[in-house]
Chain A
């Protein structure tokens, strides 16, 4: 068929540079998983509904299954792998999910974390209602959500504590 031309994509992911050539129809989710080998970003539905593939593009949460990899050219990507690298302790958000049983099978978790990161930055003291609204774009088939809400509440408070400790 017509154009199988490949396009360059260059950017950063979790602070590291990448450079590849891709077919334009390659989804960003598949690029991250198969080309960059970062399989923490999960793929559930490929039509924007489940939220499992959520990553940060220039700091904003987006569905990686609804972007083409070429569109990430010149951009900054962050995935769940960036939250805690190597032997570093878990990110407070991850720690809270573990403490509060905010995950069971864990399939949905990377998407929840990457959606919640900018949310808690913008709204460090959310109400439960606000937390539930912030979660509405991510599906979880295991937990029934209550434990996730608890985890977000806990994460918000430990992030606030870390903030005040840092300011002193």
Chain B
């Protein structure tokens, strides 16, 4: 099908965008990569009356190291992040995860900011942002505020951003000493939305004890889910098969309230979550004992 009529704006400066969103409120939508918005418009599931194309704005597509954070501009293409050596070095979880996001043709256009702002419960990047504890720089004419990942996602396709706010960039903490990360997912076909996915970040001290764990899950709730109960099982403990198994069981049973659909029932999603959390934790701990590399 074809998209309905809309008023098109292609501003070249972010101030113009902020003015337009302030003026039009929820009638207006920013157009980033268009890889979620345009299909929705073609199917007339979304009918924004004003479309603000962000593709001509300079300075929203940069990847830069700032202190102990990697700042990724909202308009950075997913493919550019996937290919960046800097990203691979300082936030390897992003590099490991991006090949699972759709297909190269989609990632060539799709942006990091678009994926996070869209907050699809089946998307990989929101779960990764939760696992890493990213910070979101959200800007409007009222100013810029910083939202922590834990507060950014709030339900189905919903974030803490107001209608007049734009996601400007996202700060991912640089991999610290003793920190290891891993990602895995199960999908019916490479590149499809996953039935379940798991992003893990662990801080392991020199004696091998797990100081802290963050486990982000996708496709098992209204939005990305932080498996806090599973993480509690790991905190302060020395990893063993048994410990990993009991953390995984907490994730599959106590941390989630997954949906059932034609692709996977509720019970199957719980089962997959438990298995994937177990495998992903084991992979991450193995990296820790190899001194951080895979």
Q: Enumerate chain A interface residues (CB-CB to B < 8 A).
A: 1-5, 7, 23-25, 27, 30, 46-48, 51, 54, 57, 60-63, 65-68, 70-71, 115, 119, 132-134, 136-137
Main secondary structure on chain A at its contact with chain B?
Answer: mixed
Q: Is B3 an interface residue (CB 8 A)?
A: yes
For chain B residues 1-57, which have a beta carbon within 8 Å of chain A?
1-8, 10, 34-35, 38-39, 42-43, 49, 51, 53, 55
Which residues of B sit under 8 angstroms from A62, Cβ to Cβ?
A: 105, 108-109
With A2-B7, A3-B5 already in contact, the answer to whether A61 and B42 are too (CB < 8 A) is no
Report Cα–Cα, A133/B38, bound state, in Å: 24
User: Across the interface, do A61 and B5 meet the contact criterion of CB distance under 8 Å?
Assistant: no
User: Across the interface, do B189 and A60 meet the contact criterion of CB distance under 8 Å?
Assistant: no
Which residues of B sit under 8 angstroms from A46, Cβ to Cβ?
A: 1-2, 39, 42
Q: Can you give 18 contacting A-B residue pairs, CB < 8 Å?
A: A2-B6, A2-B7, A7-B8, A24-B7, A24-B8, A25-B4, A25-B6, A27-B42, A30-B2, A48-B39, A51-B105, A63-B109, A66-B34, A66-B39, A66-B109, A71-B55, A115-B104, A137-B102
B102 smallest CB distance to A (angstroms): 7
Which residues of B sit under 8 angstroms from A132, Cβ to Cβ?
A: 190
Report Cα–Cα, A3/B6, bound state, in Å: 7
Query: A-facing mask of B63-81, CB < 8 A → 1, else 0?
Result: 0000000000000000100
For chain B residues 87-118, which have a beta carbon within 8 Å of chain A?
102-106, 108-109
Which residues of B sit under 8 angstroms from A137, Cβ to Cβ?
A: 102-106, 191
Which residues of B sit under 8 angstroms from A5, Cβ to Cβ?
A: 7-8
Report Cα–Cα, A2/B7, bound state, in Å: 7
User: Across the interface, do A63 and B8 meet the contact criterion of CB distance under 8 Å?
Assistant: no
A65 smallest CB distance to B (angstroms): 7
With A27-B3, A47-B43, A48-B39 already in contact, the answer to whether A3 and B8 are too (CB < 8 A) is yes
With A62-B109, A65-B42 already in contact, the answer to whether A27 and B104 are too (CB < 8 A) is no
